[in-house]
Amino acid sequence: MKTLIIDASKCSGCRSCESYCALKHEGACNPAQGRVRVVKWEQEGVYVPVNCRRCQEPACEITCPQQATFRNYETGALEVDAARCIGCYSCVFACPFGATFVDSRDGRVLKCDLCDGDPTCVKVCPTGAITYEEITRETYLKLVANAACLPQLVKQALGTS
């Protein structure tokens, strides 16, 4: 099984991941319709891609009253069954990472599905900030290291380093 690794220190803020994700899933080059979002501190040059982390005990799945959010065991992605979703957005509010989104056009819940095991965001990221790697001890250590550097990037953005 593979997982996305996001290294915010490499992100240039180009938003290619957002645009191409929306293009693949929605047929429109509209970053607001992507399943990945880049949080930006423009003046400080700090950009953090936000994407589903596929939690071991996902709050989005646990809180869904219709079991519309579920794990795809082939890819590991947490997905939303639109036919079961009632639009209560409990999954959106429950996500501690802000990685479950709502389509402003029609209210659908948008969540990364890992592009069925071939993530578009990885292919289009010009800096290698997003990679798709086998889950190993080394991958886990990368996840921990990348998470550990986020507070420093945020402090830098806020000017409180």
Residue count (the chain): 161
Q: Are residues 15 and 92 in the same domain?
A: no
If asked whether residues 62 and 107 sit together in one domain, one would say: yes
Helices assigned H by DSSP within 2-89: 16-26, 59-63
Q: Are residues 128 and 102 in the same domain?
A: no
Domain shared by 62 and 92, yes or no: yes
Residues 64 and 96 in one domain: yes
Sign of CA dihedral 42, 45, 48, 49: positive
Q: Are residues 102 and 127 in the same domain?
A: no
Q: Are residues 1 and 47 in the same domain?
A: yes
pLDDT at 151: 74
Q: Which of 111, 135, 152 is the last residue of a domain?
A: 111
Domain count, the chain: 2
Residues 47 and 122 in one domain: yes
Both 121 and 43 in one domain: the answer is yes
Burial 61-90 (b: 16+ CB within 10 A, else e): bebbeeebbbeeeebebbbbeeeebeeeeb
Residues 45 and 29 in one domain: yes
Structural contact between residues 23 and 32, judged by C-beta atoms closer than 8 angstroms:
no
Q: Per residue of the chain (161 residues), give pLDDT as tens.
A: 898 999 988 999 999 999 999 999 999 999 999 999 999 888 878 898 999 989 989 999 999 999 999 999 999 999 999 999 999 999 999 999 999 999 989 999 999 999 999 999 999 999 999 999 998 889 888 877 877 777 777 777 677 75
Q: Are residues 5 and 33 in the same domain?
A: yes
Provide the residue range defining the domain that includes 15. Answer: 1-51+114-161
The CATH number of the domain where 57 resides is what? 3.30.70.20
Positive/negative CA dihedral, 37, 151, 11, 41: positive
- Contacts with 58 (C-beta within 8 Å, 6 or more apart), sequence order: 69, 71, 78
Q: How far apart are CA 64 and CA 66, in angstroms?
A: 6
Say whether both 61 and 99 belong to one domain.
yes
Predicted local distance difference test score (pLDDT) of residue 73: 92
CA pair distance 63, 46, nearest whole angstrom: 32
